[in-house]
Amino acid sequence: MGAGRRRLLVIEGVSWALGLIAVGAYAAFQFGLDASTRHDLGRFATLQAIALEAGTPDQSLWSAARLRAWRRALDEAAPAPVAVLRIPKIRLEAPILSGTDDWTLDRSVGHIEGTARPGTDGNSGLAAHRDSFFRRLSDIAPGDSIELQTLHGMDIYRVERTWIVDPQDVSVLEPTSTRTITLVTCYPFYFVGPAPRRFIVRAVLVGDPAA
Task: Report the candidate in 121, 126, 93 with the shortest Cα–Cα distance to residue 201.
Answer: 126
Q: What residues contact 127, with CB distance under 8 A and at least 6 apart?
A: 100, 105, 109, 110, 112, 183, 184, 185
Coil, strand or helix at 198? strand
CA 156 to chain centroid:
15
Coil, strand or helix at 143? coil
Element (H, E) at 164: strand 153-165
The 10s digit of each residue's pLDDT in 1-30 is: 566 566 665 566 656 656 556 555 444 544
CATH architecture of 54-205: Beta Barrel (2.40)
The 10s digit of each residue's pLDDT in 172-201 is: 999 999 999 999 999 999 998 889 999 999
Confidence (pLDDT) at 105: 94
Confidence (pLDDT) at 20: 59
Q: What average pLDDT does this structure show over 72-87?
A: 88
Confidence (pLDDT) at 70: 86
The Cα 86–Cα 196 span in angstroms is 27
Q: What residues contact 101, with CB distance under 8 A and at least 6 apart?
A: 110
pTM for this model (two decimals)? 0.74
The Cα 96–Cα 149 span in angstroms is 10
Average pLDDT, the chain: 82
The 10s digit of each residue's pLDDT in 42-69 is: 555 666 665 555 567 888 889 899 889 9
Percent of the chain with pLDDT over 70: 72
The 10s digit of each residue's pLDDT in 160-175 is: 999 999 999 999 999 9
Confidence (pLDDT) at 142: 97
Task: Write down the domain spans for the chain.
Answer: 54-205
Confidence (pLDDT) at 33: 39
pLDDT band at 206 (very low <50, low <70, confident <90, very high): very high
